[in-house]
Amino acid sequence: MDRTLCGALPSELESFLRDIDERSYRASQVLKWVHRRGVLDPRQMTDIPAELRGRLDTEVPKLGARITDVARSSDGTRKARIALADGAAIETVLIPDDEHGTDQEDEGGDAVGSVPASTPAGREPATGSKLTQCISTQVGCAFQCRFCLSGAGGLVRNLSADEIVGQVHLARETRESGERLTNVVLMGSGEPLANLDETFRAIELLTSPHGVGLSTRKVTVSTIGLPRGIARLGEVFGGSIGLAVSLHGPDDETRARLLPRVGSVPLERVLEALAAYPLPRRRRITIEYVLVRGANDSPRHAAALVRALASIRVKVNLIPFNEHPGSDLETPDVGVVEEFQRVLLGRGIATMLRKKRGADIGAACGQLAARGGGGPFA
């Protein structure tokens, strides 16, 4: 089999088992160990026959990734650095919910298919605080947005679906007792829609009842606005996957200054793709807007943003720039941020200020930097 256990689809594992003269129903047992209990070593799957455990151990590729560091923020956020099999590194962030909730949209009801931390067999998982996990889809990033550390060194390579989903399983060891993973956001390093095939396979595994088991409502893809990728995401998943778009400017000139590598994609095309995205009822596209002092934070920019978004069902997350070493950009004053928000709210656009989480450990928006070493760890 070409895939690791955490990257294989049920049909692929069933086919592999038939090829080695094993009963295909064992696939569901194996996948339950992997995706519900976070056990990636076949030798630890105690209700699987010993002979099959041995064959899985020797004939199925290993993920070859491991957590090398965990940094913990004063606000409860955790950032884990993961060393990949080829020596590259990525980071994933776990953000606990608080009394005010997370930024993820929730249209009522409990989290569907929430994933508990590993618990002993036969024991019900404790109910506790909810977690949102931010996962990466590439090592580095080709787009090199000026406010984001992830692309500072360019793109190293795409992640496989095994490595994308593997972040969820590896990070289980950082969860506190009773914490439940309820949301996954593909907002770490990389551009998910520039890695379409592996991103889509990862989403399938995250939302499959034989995989991680999250509701599609609890998975969000963040993109800098690639029209073809947005269209494909809508086609493949019928609009059920949350869409967040890093706009950061209401016009082509402003976007080109902050996102120089996407300047060739006219904003008009991005907005057309958003308008065509097959949103379910009561859902909205999230517009992510990093506010940078003197670049995109004036009332004029806010009014232009209102006009650009007028025909699209959206909510706006305002993110004051998170400063980091080596950047010449600055965070706007609080009053400037509040005035920008007032303009949007006054024109009827739902607008929230993104709460800064994990900034003291380099885990806030735009601060993930691991590629093969370095990066801020406490």
Active site residues: 91, 365
Can you give the length of the chain in residues? 378
Q: Which alpha helices (H) appear in the chain, and where do they start and end?
A: 10-19, 26-37, 50-59, 161-170, 196-207, 227-237, 252-258, 267-276, 299-308, 334-346
Q: What is the DSSP string of 33-63?
A: HHHHH----GGG-TTS-HHHHHHHHHHS---
Q: Which of 83, 5, 3, 79 is nearest to 37 (CA)?
A: 5
Q: Which of 150, 161, 185, 168 is nearest to 322 (CA)?
A: 150
Q: How many CB atoms lie within 10 A of CB 4?
A: 22
User: What CA–CA distance (Å, rounded) separates 245 from 225?
Assistant: 6
User: What CA–CA distance (Å, rounded) separates 291 from 236?
Assistant: 32
User: What CA–CA distance (Å, rounded) separates 310 from 299?
Assistant: 16
Q: What is the DSSP string of 132-191?
A: EEE--SEEE-SS--TT-GGGTT-EEEEPPHHHHHHHHHHGGGGPPTT-EEEEEEE-SSS-
The answer to whether 293 touches 334, Cβ cutoff 8 Å, is: no
